[in-house]
Amino acid sequence: MDAMPTLKHLVQQSRGRISVMVCGELSIANVKAVIAYSNATEVHAGLGTTVTSPMKFRNHKIEMGTLANSEYQHSVVTESSVRELRFAIDSL
């Protein structure tokens, strides 16, 4: 959160003429503090969770990605994590 003073300054400097969207390392745990400090009105949070593919056949002799077994995983955003983030924001 090294950029908090800069973020606050940008929000103040914009004076509502443009929106400053908060992003980067933003999570359910820190979103309230970031918004309260900066007075930002828009956020972008990466709420993705890596889950294992239900695929049954796996050829372990061939790697399709740069990380081992990464082709057997994908990222999802759950409705509950979005609701939790929304609740944190709305409670300000």
Instruction: Express each pLDDT in 15-72 by its tens digit.
Output: 999 999 999 889 999 999 999 999 999 999 999 998 988 878 877 787 776 666 677 8
Give the model's pLDDT for residue 67: 65
SS3 47: coil
Phi, psi of 4 (to 5 degrees): -55, -50
More confident residue, 78 or 55: 78
Give the model's pLDDT for residue 10: 96
Q: How confident is the model at residue 1 (pLDDT cuts 50, 70, 90)?
A: low
Q: What is the pTM of this model?
A: 0.75
Cβ–Cβ under 8 Å, residues 15 and 41 = no
Q: Which residues are 54's β-sheet partners?
A: none
Give the model's pLDDT for residue 66: 65
CA 67-73-78 angle, to 5 degrees, is 135
Residue with tokens 């994908």: 74
